[in-house]
Structure formats: C-alpha cells, structure tokens
Amino acid sequence: MRVFTSPSSAKHTVPAGFPETPERLDRAEDACRDAGMSPDTLTVHELEAYDAVTAVGWVHTDDRVKRLAEAAIPWRAKIDTPECPVSPGTPDAALDAVRTTLCALDRILTGPHRAALALVRPPGHHATRRSAMGFCYLNNVAIAARHGQRQGRSRVAILDFDVHHGNGTQDIFWEDGSVFFCSLHEDPRMQYPGSGFTHERGAGPGLGTTLNLPFVTGTKGEPYLRALEEQVVPALEAFRPELLLVSAGFDSHREDPLGGLLLVGADFARMGELLAGLAARLGVPALFVLEGGYSPACFDDGMRPFLEAWHEGRLVG
C-alpha cells in the first residue's frame, strides 16, 4: 500500500470549532507511519500533470470550479450550504485533492503497487453532481471512477464505509450500470444526510447497481462485519469490477463525535482483512480515498489497525 498526500490540503482552513480540520490529516499521516507506511507528499510538478478542472467536469456541472473560486472571496465564505465554508485556500486544496486522488490511482494502474491510499481533504463523497454538501466540495472518488474508466477499467466498484451515506457518489452514478456503488452507514432517519435507505437501488440502466446497508444507531462491530462479509463482499464479487475504489471514512469508530456507530480497532482490523481478501480474489487494484473521521481515535484506533490488517492480508493473500 502506497500512501499519497498533497502539500495544499492544509490551505483549506475552517472556522473555529468546525470538525473537518487540517489537523485530521496530521493524525492520518501518523496512523500510516505507525502502520509502517510512510506517506509520499506529491510535488507541485507531479500534481500539475493533472487537469483537475476538466476531470471535475466528468462528474459535476460545468460551473462547479468557477463557483468554488467565486465563493472564496471573504464576504461569501461558503458555498451552497452552511456546512461548506470556503477559505481563500479552499479551491486549491479541493482541486489538489482531486489531483492527488488521480495520481494515486495512476500509480496503481500502471505501477508495481496494487493498492494506494489518497490522504486528502476536503473529503468528497457528499458532493453531488450540482452541489457541495457536508464538508465536501468535489467528489474525489467519483472523479477517480471516471478516470479509471478512461484508462480502460470499464467496470468500477465503489465501497463507502464512512458512517454517513455517500449520497453524492450515489447521485452521480444513480443511473449508471457501469459503476457499482455500495454504502454501509448509520440509519438515515438518525444521521446526516438522511438518505441511504435499502430501497434506494438506482434507476434505469443503474437499477440494482446501488446497494445501501443502513445500521441502527448504536450498532457494534459484529452485525456490521457480518453484513460486510455476507452481503457486501459477495455483491462486489458478483459485479466483477476491474477496479475497486473505497471511500474510507473512519467516523464509524465509537469515539467519533459525529457518528453513532460503535466500531472499535479490532473491527477495523477485520474490515482490512476482508477487503484485502476481496481485492486479492478479484485481482484488481484498490484505491482508498479518505473521507470522514473527526476524533483522533478514528485514526489511531481505526485507520491504523485497518492498514495493518490490510498489509498482513495482502502478504498472506
């Protein structure tokens, strides 16, 4: 597993008390080092190889980047919703998050490594085709799916295990049968953004390629992992993807201040094992893209055991 970051993610600054902070990435980088994976900070030169504005247009409406730039002037300072503050550095940070994700993907599509983690912020999975939402401005994982398809991986699976439903990713691929979207999340009746019911299954050519598994608030690891093993993994295998993308949010950890699920380190380790086994059986590259996680424990006791188990699973798998 290779880990990639960009130098600009800290430029997306937020108001005091806002949960999605630049310090989150410091915690994530520490967790990677503790798991024996040293993050590789991409250079400006490496990032400049990617035309992020064009890539954003693959999944978002044409005015997205322009509107984000316009929102960065101080008297606007937000875009679309109050939970999406925009600082002067936000457009650069968001576009570099896209570039970092695409660069990480290219490294596993062409290079010797078969798995990578893009440590990016702002996160992306709530960003719909038309709107920023829930700390998310540009949908990094959705753009990666389109990039993968342009590189010849026509069938792409996206697994989203953030505690919040990946409504933006679902929105973008709702009628697209070439991208399988599966999300495990907290009960939408209790948790933001209020979507992700089991009856949401896609439409038209995409009917059946959206799979939602909501869990009641207070769910611990055992039923969650059973669903992952017995429902999610078989569904992803049956789709026969040529690329596996994972919206990796660690806010289902029990210490997370926003999430209401109760997963602990051992549960994340088991998730890492299950996904390592899945990727090995599928024989496809796997790209993890950071989404949520708002307590230090999400990284120390969520991401770290997940990465360690993934690493060990790959060695035996």
Instruction: Provide the residue type at 66 as one letter.
Output: K
CA distance 100 to 166: 20
Q: Are 294 and 163 in contact (CB under 8 A)?
A: no
Instruction: Tell me, rounded to whole angstroms, the distance of Cα 77 from its chain centroid.
Output: 24
Provide, rounded to whole angstroms, the least separation between the CB of residue 252 and Zn ion. Answer: 8
Q: Which is nearer to Zn ion, 135 or 239 (CB)?
A: 135
Q: According to DSSP H, which parts of 75-190 are helical?
A: 90-110, 140-150, 167-173
Q: Give the contact letters, 143-182, x = binds to Zn ion (CB under 5 A), - = no.
A: -------------------x-x------------------
Provide, rounded to whole angstroms, the least separation between the CB of residue 251 and Zn ion. Answer: 4
Q: According to DSSP H, which parts of the chain are helical?
A: 23-34, 44-48, 52-56, 64-71, 90-110, 140-150, 167-173, 221-227, 233-239, 265-282, 296-298, 304-316
Among 86-94, 110-118, 248-256, 308-316, which window interacts with Zn ion (CB under 5 A)? 248-256
Provide, rounded to whole angstroms, the least separation between the CB of residue 261 and Zn ion. Answer: 10
Q: Give the contact letters, 290-309, x = binds to Zn ion (CB under 5 A), - = no.
A: --x-----------------
Q: Give the contact letters, 254-293, x = binds to Zn ion (CB under 5 A), - = no.
A: --------------------------------------x-
Among 31-39, 114-122, 244-252, 265-273, which window interacts with Zn ion (CB under 5 A)? 244-252
Instruction: Provide the residue type at 120 as one letter.
Output: V
Instruction: Tell me, rounded to whole angstroms, the distance of Cα 2 from its chain centroid.
Output: 16
Q: Which is nearer to Zn ion, 30 or 83 (CB)?
A: 83
Among this protein's residues, is 60 annotated catalytic? no
* Out of 85, 91, 124, 249, the residue judged to bind Zn ion by CB under 5 A: 249
Q: Are 307 and 271 in contact (CB under 8 A)?
A: no
Of 60, 125, 126, 147, catalytic: 126
Instruction: Provide the residue type at 184 as one letter.
Output: L
Q: Give the closest residue to 22 by CA, choosing from 89, 77, 73, 75.
A: 89
* Out of 20, 96, 176, 251, the residue judged to bind Zn ion by CB under 5 A: 251
Q: Where are the beta strands (DSSP E) in 161-297?
A: 179-186, 210-215, 243-248, 286-290
Provide, rounded to whole angstroms, the least separation between the CB of residue 258 and Zn ion. Answer: 7
Q: Which is nearer to Zn ion, 206 or 293 (CB)?
A: 293
Number of residues that bind Zn ion (CB under 5 A): 5
Among 36-44, 150-158, 217-225, 250-258, which window interacts with Zn ion (CB under 5 A)? 250-258
In angstroms, the first-to-last Cα distance of the chain is 14
Residue nearest Zn ion by beta-carbon distance: 292
Catalytic positions, written as ranges: 126
Sites of contact with Zn ion (CB under 5 A) = 162, 164, 249, 251, 292
